[in-house]
Amino acid sequence: MTEPDFPALRQSMLAEIAAKTIFSSARLGKAALDPRVMNAMAKVPRHEFVLLELRPYAYADTPLPSGFDKTISQPFIVAVMTDLLDLRPTDTVLEIGTGLGYQTAILAELAQHVYSIEIIEELAVQARQRLAREGYANVEIKIGNGCGGWPEHAPFDKVIVTAAAELIPPPLIYQLKPGGKMVIPAGLPDDQQLILVEKDANDAVSTREILPVRFSLLEDAEPD
């Protein structure tokens, strides 16, 4: 697998995402994702955000191990979660769970600034290196437990969580701006749903289940 192979593989990944979107249209409420999201997926080199030995599989529509019993999410799920946020170029985004930085890079393509929290120091260091190498200057990463959010930079226009909690952490709802949106997997380990959380102009919060998913648990949500 060499560098010239990757653009064609990325196009195949986009075609698979488009096909799965059509298949899931009843749940998603649409048959195609926002072109801006698809353009970001087309631009970000996923092979730069996976472990070296997994590069041949970088554009397969499947989760891949990222070390420390964590995974980099399936591209279709990355695209759907990003689409649900309805990102604007002026948005400030909070991401919980940086991993190796792939979802972070997608967000950075579409938003003004991304604040990302990663609990595993080694992953945070790698993500910083990978994002810097790709030229993303609008990302700030800190090491810590994401369940408490990042109060110093709140409120956020959008929040995205890439690990599952049984219940949505209240600080993340509190740190969401009126008119904001959050996407988070939540529920019991065998019954997780991707949830869209919306806060209206009066701070009233509503939730909607989108798709059944399976994510690793937020560290704070893991059983003793």
- Rg of the chain over all Cα atoms, to the nearest angstrom: 16
Q: Read off the pLDDT of residues 87-136 as tens digits, 9 standing for 90 and up.
A: 999 999 999 999 999 999 999 999 999 999 999 999 999 999 999 999 99
- pLDDT for res 69: 84
CB–CB of 70/216 below 8 Å? yes
Token match 């945070």: residue? 124
**Which residue type sits at 61?**
D
Token match 């064609």: residue? 8
CB–CB of 186/196 below 8 Å? no
Q: Which residues are catalytic?
A: 73
Q: What percent of the chain has pLDDT over 70?
A: 96
CATH class held by domain 3-217: alpha beta
